Amino acid sequence: MTTTSSYLSSDRVNLLDLKEWLRREFLSFFEDCNGKKLIIWDKQLTQPLGLIADYKVLKERGVDKMMDLRELKDTRVLKKKDVHDISHIFFIVKPKLDLMDFIAENVRSIESELKNEIKEFHILFVPRKTHLCEKKLKELGVYGSFKNNLKEFFLDLIPLDYDLLSMESPELFKDSFLYNDMTHLYHVAKSIMTMQSLYGIIPNVYGKGKYSKLVAEQIFRMRREMAQNQEPQIIPKIDNLILIDRTVDFITPMMTQLTYEGLIDENFGIKYTQLEIPQDRVKKQNQDDKLNVVEMKKSIVILNSADSLYGEIRDRNFNAINPVLSRTAKELQQANEVNKKYLSFILSNLRFHSSCKTVQINIFKPPIFFKNKPDISRWILNILSKINSHLS
């Protein structure tokens, strides 16, 4: 685990510590359950949880099978053949009421088919279990089937790269700003407290905006409630925390990103450091070329600083990456003693990034983009001036 995640290490804040802590917390739910296990995932959780514990790690904890909850929900319920040699069935879900109906249907199906076999049912709610979900399970008559196996796993800040953490909560903005639901703000504050438990109390906290203030107040309240002997006695590795509301800047998310990584995200979409290249967007290479990009595009590409070339060009303007790609190509040509296997790996990375660069250039070639560029600029400036006049 440490070897494959070494890119998370840095001189000041080693995010590998946070990943290992999350991993231990997650795996602890399986430690005391003897026998084979079946995990039924909510698909929205497979990728974020996969960043902290892959299938190999879960298999070592006795996980024999894994199923996609939503696909199962749309096609059928669990049958005897799915669980005949399984001792523990885990549902790992978000706290949504419609999923409780599906879980109850499957529990009843298994219990009716396997009357003489004991199966233990578990629900792991991410990030928290709710009273409404518990009430729904009681109404459906299956609450007793779970005994004391309703748990919650607070998946907070996920380390994506050595300088990037994310809570991966796309609904936060909508719920907080439209529905005035402050639950997510509590999760933000709690995740920062987790960071402080690992890296020391952050001495300086700054914020701008109403919701930033609420998060800061919750952090300070949590610190006051913490017993003095529980406060981490380590030298702070983070000097300053800056909290900024989305309301402070609505425009930036609407702007076209011009960095290499940003444009890949704009046009292909990067989720949890994973990128899947659409078949029709990648230029095919010569058939004689054994390291063509056609082979790479059929699988998911991982984008993080473990790829040193990507780490170097990801934050550069896409017009400025050609010199880096050219320099890398020349260095490879001069490296006569490089291990062939490693050389093949580097070449495939180089060609992948060169291919993405070509796609980005083609996207910005159309005359309509440059023709409308002045109008777009005036439109943005007009909106900014209205916002500034309103704020003042």
Residue 175 and residue 268 in one domain: no
The total domain count for the chain is 3
3-state secondary structure 37-84: EEEEECHHHHHHHHCCCCHHHHHHCCEEEEEEHHHHHHHCCCCHHHHC
Asked if pLDDT for residue 72 goes beyond 90, the answer is: no
Q: In this predicted model, what pLDDT tens digit does every residue of 264-317 receive, in sequence order?
A: 888 778 888 888 766 554 444 444 444 333 343 345 778 888 888 788 888 888
**With the CA atoms of 181, 185, 188 and 193 taken in that order, what torsion angle do they form, in degrees rounded to the nearest 10?**
-130
Residue 146 and residue 190 in one domain: no
The stretch 27-42 carries a mean pLDDT of: 90
Q: What percent of the chain has pLDDT over 90?
A: 26
DSSP label at residue 179: S
Residue 30 and residue 133 in one domain: yes
Distance CA 150, CA 137 (A): 11
Asked if pLDDT for residue 320 goes beyond 50, the answer is: yes
Q: Is residue 279 part of a domain?
A: yes
Q: In this predicted model, what pLDDT tens digit does every residue of 128-163 receive, in sequence order?
A: 899 999 999 999 999 999 988 999 999 888 999 888
Q: In this predicted model, what pLDDT tens digit does every residue of 167-222 receive, in sequence order?
A: 888 888 888 888 888 888 999 999 999 999 999 999 999 999 999 999 999 999 99
Residue 48 and residue 115 in one domain: yes
Per DSSP, the residues of 197-224 read HHH---SEEEEESHHHHHHHHHHHHHHH
Q: What is the pLDDT of residue 280?
A: 52
Q: Is residue 330 part of a domain?
A: yes
CATH code of the domain covering residue 277? 3.90.830
Q: What is the pLDDT of residue 218?
A: 95
DSSP label at residue 302: E
Structural domain boundaries, residue 274: 260-363
Residue 10 and residue 144 in one domain: yes
